[in-house]
Structure 1
Amino acid sequence: DALKALTVTELKHPELLYLLQQTGDEVLNFQHAIKYYSQCKQLIEFGGDHSFNGFERAFSSIVDFLKIRY
């Protein structure tokens, strides 16, 4: 019940969020995440796990999203 009380039903600024999700995530249901974050930028990869295997492949996309210059 305490955890449910913390649930955010509507994301106020979905444009500020970037979902990085792998379908093999053993902790989070990727289908629920895709639906919940449907208004957000998303990077969905087949396989993987909760640690997001191959994170380095997403690095340039993350940098672009955050508008970081390096």
Structure 2
Amino acid sequence: MKMWHSAFFQAMQAVQIDILKPKIQKAWGPMMEKAADAALEAIGTMWSSGLGMAKAKADFRKKLEQLWLEKK
């Protein structure tokens, strides 16, 4: 019975979500689109920065390795 009780409330929540989605889209859609665009732009910048930082760290490690392996 506990499983059915849990499933019922999960189904109720899913229906509530389906009802709310178009209402939220109608009320705040344009603002949410702009917010999503801003988030995507910021995350893209952070991703690019992270890739550059990872490359710099890898290059530094490679250079250190070469220095240590170099004959004196």
Tell me the TM-score normalized by structure 1: 0.24
Name whichever structure is richer in helix by fraction.
2
Q: Which structure is larger by alpha-carbon Rg, 1 or 2?
A: 2
Q: Would you tell me which structure has more strand in proportion to its own residues?
A: 1
TM-score of the aligned structures, taking structure 2 as reference length: 0.24
